[in-house]
Structures are given as C-alpha cells and as structure tokens.
C-alpha cells in the first residue's frame, strides 16, 4: 500500500541526518533570498489579494476563458488540443511525433509533463527525450523524479552531482561547479538543433491575447521552443489569467515566492508558430490543454481554490514535514502541502488520502501562498472526505468509535480499573506507532471530574 510505503520512507528520510543537512542548507538559501525579495514590494499583501481575486474570477468562468484563449491562439495559426486525461495527451504527442518521424525531443522544465510521464512514453516509442533544464537533466540522468516543484535537484550536493556526471557521462572527477555546468551545456547544445520537437509547459495562459507565458532562469525553454520545427506546450486548464497586462502582477509574485528574485531571468510569451516575416520560431505550435482530474476540483466550490496554485513552491519551503521527509517520499508529481491537497483529486483519493495527514496543520503554507490558497483547511477537508468514504484504517475507525462511545458513557471510564485503561491506551499507541520513539502514556489515577469533585468537597 502507498500509505505504508510513505510511512516507511518518511521515517528513513526523517532520521537521515545527511539528507536533512542538505535540504536545510538549500532551503535556507531560498528563505534568505525570498525575505530579501519581499522587501521590494510596497504592499505584498495587496498583490496577493489581487492575484487571488483574478485567479478566482477565472475559475468561476473557466469555460469562457478557455474558449477565448483557443480563439485567439488559433487565429495566429496555432492549434489547440483538449485532453481529458494523460492518455489523450500522450496519444496526441505520439501522433505529432510520428507525423514528423521524430527521433529526438528536447524538453523544458514542466511539472505538467511530469504529471503525465511524457519522457517514459516517448522512450517507449524509441524517441530520445532530453531534459534541458540543468536540475531536470541531473535527476533524469540519475533515474529520479524531480524532488521539488521549482528545484528538481534540491536534494543533491555538488559532490553528488559530480558523482552522477562521472557515472553517467564519463567525465573526470571534479568539484568545480562551473566545469560541471559547462560540460552539461556542451552536451545539450547540439540537441536543440537536432531535435524535431520541443516540448514546454506553461506558467500562465493569457486568455485575451492567446499566449503561453513561460518563465525560466536558464534560457533552455526558449531554445527548446525556437529551434525545433514543432513546439508542443502541455498546460493545465487552470493556468489561465485574463489578459497580458496581468503578467505584471503574476510574474513578480511567482519569482519572488519561488526564488526570491524580483523577476526571473527569461520571461517569454508564445503566441503561436512563426509568422510571415519572422526569422525564427517553430513552423507549428500545438497547445495541449490538460484536464486530468482538474475538473474534479473545479466542480467542488469548497476545494476549487486549490486550482489557483501557480506552482511557486513556497509552501514546500516552509513546511516542517516536507523539510524532514523530502520530496521523493510523497511518490507523487506534486509534493509538499499543495501536492497533498491536489494529488488525491488528480490521481485518486483512496490511493493518496494518507498525504492529507502528512501535515502539522501549522498554517505556514497558507501564510506564504502568493494567491492565498487556504491550504491547511483544504487538507482538513480531504481528511474529512477520506473518513466519510471509509478510506481510513479499521484501527482508526475502531479507536474513534471507542472514544465516541466512552465520551457518551462517561461512567464506563470510571468503572474500568487503571491497569485495563493503561493496557487499552498502550494497544492504541502501539497501533498508531506512538510508542516506537516515545515514552508510553498512562491514564491518571483520578479523572478530571473526580479531581474537581474532591476540590469542591473541601
């Protein structure tokens, strides 16, 4: 079961001191940068409120905004494909690759393509799919999934990366970071011109003007979109914003919350394939609008706000659970607090309901969210739904049932002898794992009511 594997992996990572050292070091650098970045805002709370309002407005009229985007995008020669699920999206990518007899695909960093496992699909069809973001390239070489929404290789030190390059690329051992980056750049550079297809995601879809906005720090997404003759953008249907001028609000919010930058280095809006008179760009551009369970959230007014997420990763960086168990433990595309909220609805509540309990409910995630998603409350709603549908364990149901009965029949607790109370409590603590690393609890000799009665009798 996934919940059992999660508990096993979480315990291993939580007590892996080297892992915790790396994560705290890397997240610590982000925390310092974000704190400095927020200082550039005159009124950050107002920006958050405006962003939350705009995203909420879009979700209330999502069907209209999607049609508006399609009309504007296709008017400039682009094509839009509507994909209900991962299978439909992959099938379209397969048809496009077959039509161009593609042998090489270059990919920019995209969590949406991770969600539908594009690399695995293409490799199964004999097509080389190369991640061009440095962090994504490193974890691809190492056969791993991204560790973090923004920083795929956050769990790796410079020495770890050097070992990966030595093992998979055959380079000489080195501790020079610039040399490692230069070697990766040399290997990737010719892939851009050799690839028949470039695949990106999209941070935002601009409805009125029909654009796909991509933000990055390395320039690899631009190269992946510009050199191949076909550019495919796989984007979730929730990524819409009303118009181009709204990027002035969302781009800084995304970069500041994610990396502490005032704005990321490269920000590009793609409006379609190369137009007459233009000297570069793809001959064909296709946007795949991916649902893949998003309408499950859209149809639920109490959960809909989760679709406001702009994938900045801020909630992961402040989460005490994430910082101790790491991103791979979640075994989902989207990890951390927001992943625990949306994954059960994208991939099935029964298989992923345990993620909603991987939280201290401290509310730190909610406090830093740039679009004001009430994340910790949504985790509670997921827990409630899991219990209502009977996905919680038999031991938990029995324990809660016993507690409920005893609270309604208080006399029973007074009748039971102390040793039996201790035995029952100890059994429940064993089942929950409490006593594995903690001292046992014992029931007091006198109940609170007995103490109050004795005090009143004095």
Cα–Cα dist 100/230, whole Å: 9
The mean pLDDT value for 237-257 works out to 98
Q: What is the pLDDT of residue 169?
A: 93
Q: What is the pLDDT of residue 415?
A: 73
Burial of 154 (0-12, 13-18, 19+ CB in 10 A): buried
Cα–Cα dist 186/169, whole Å: 12
pLDDT > 90 fraction of the chain, expressed in percent and rounded: 80
Q: Is the pLDDT at 136 greater than 90, yes or no?
A: yes
Write the DSSP string, 313-334.
-HHHHH-TTHHHH-SGGG-SSS
Q: Is the pLDDT at 311 greater than 90, yes or no?
A: yes
Q: CB neighbours of 315 closer than 8 A, spacing ≥ 6?
A: 336, 337, 338, 364, 365, 368, 369, 375
Exposure of 96 in the CB half-sphere (CA atoms within 13 A) = 27
Q: CB neighbours of 409 closer than 8 A, spacing ≥ 6?
A: none
Q: Is the pLDDT at 23 greater than 80, yes or no?
A: yes
The mean pLDDT value for 20-41 works out to 94
Cα–Cα dist 412/71, whole Å: 69
Query: What confidence category does residue 432 fall into, taking pLDDT thresholds of 50, 70 and 90?
Result: low
Query: What confidence category does residue 438 fall into, taking pLDDT thresholds of 50, 70 and 90?
Result: confident
- Is-contact 111 149, C-beta < 8 A? yes
What confidence tens digit (pLDDT) does each residue in 347-377 have? 888 889 999 999 999 999 999 999 999 999 9
Q: What is the pLDDT of residue 268?
A: 97
Domains in the chain (CATH in brackets) are 1-39+313-392 (no CATH), 54-292 (3.40.50.10420), 394-457 (no CATH)
Whole-angstrom distance between the N-terminal and C-terminal Cα of the chain? 56
What confidence tens digit (pLDDT) does each residue in 142-153 have? 999 999 999 999
How far lies 188's CA from each of 18, 119, 147, 192, in Å?
31, 16, 22, 7
Q: What is the pLDDT of residue 419?
A: 72
DSSP state of 125: T
């Amino acid at each position: 079961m996934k919940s059992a594997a999660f508990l096993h992996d979480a315990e291993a990572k939580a007590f892996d001191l080297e892992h915790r050292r790396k994560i705290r070091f890397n997240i610590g650098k982000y925390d310092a940068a974000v704190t400095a970045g927020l200082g550039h805002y005159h009124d950050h709370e107002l920006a958050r409120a405006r962003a939350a309002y705009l995203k909420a407005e879009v979700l209330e009229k999502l069907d209209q905004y999607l049609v508006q985007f399609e009309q504007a995008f296709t008017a400039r020669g682009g094509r839009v494909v509507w994909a209900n699920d991962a299978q439909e999206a992959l099938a379209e990518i397969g048809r496009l690759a077959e039509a161009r007899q593609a042998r090489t695909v270059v990919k920019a960093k995209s969590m949406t393509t991770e969600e539908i496992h594009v690399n695995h699909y293409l490799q199964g069809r004999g097509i080389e799919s190369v991640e061009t973001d440095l962090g994504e390239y490193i974890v691809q070489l190492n056969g791993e999934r991204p560790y973090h929404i923004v920083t795929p290789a956050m769990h790796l030190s410079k020495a770890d990366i050097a070992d990966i390059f030595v093992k998979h690329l055959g380079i000489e051992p080195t501790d020079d970071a610039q040399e490692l980056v230069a070697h990766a750049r040399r290997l990737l550079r010719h892939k851009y011109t050799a690839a028949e297809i470039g695949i990106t995601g999209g941070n935002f879809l601009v409805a009125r003007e029909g654009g796909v906005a991509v933000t990055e720090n390395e320039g690899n997404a631009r190269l992946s979109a510009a050199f191949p003759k076909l550019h495919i953008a796989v984007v979730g249907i929730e990524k819409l914003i009303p118009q181009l001028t709204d990027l002035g609000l969302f781009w800084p919010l995304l970069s500041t919350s994610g990396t502490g930058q005032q704005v990321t280095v490269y920000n590009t809006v793609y409006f379609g394939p190369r137009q007459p008179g233009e000297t570069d760009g793809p001959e064909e551009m296709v946007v795949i609008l991916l649902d893949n369970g998003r309408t499950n959230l859209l149809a639920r007014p109490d959960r809909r706000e989760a679709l406001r997420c702009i994938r900045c990763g801020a909630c992961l960086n402040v989460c005490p659970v994430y910082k101790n168990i790491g991103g791979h433990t979640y075994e989902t595309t989207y990890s951390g607090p927001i992943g625990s909220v949306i994954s059960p609805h994208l991939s099935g509540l029964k298989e992923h309901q345990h993620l909603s309990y991987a939280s201290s409910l401290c509310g730190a995630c909610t406090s830093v969210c740039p679009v004001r998603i009430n994340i910790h409350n949504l985790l509670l709603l997921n827990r409630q739904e899991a219990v209502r549908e009977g996905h919680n364990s038999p031991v938990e149901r029995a324990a809660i049932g016993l507690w409920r009965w005893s609270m309604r029949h208080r006399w029973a607790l007074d009748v039971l002898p102390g040793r039996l109370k201790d035995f029952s409590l100890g059994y429940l603590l064993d089942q929950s794992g409490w006593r594995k690393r903690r001292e046992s609890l014992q029931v007091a000799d006198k109940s609170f009511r007995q103490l109050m009665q004795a005090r009143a009798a004095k």
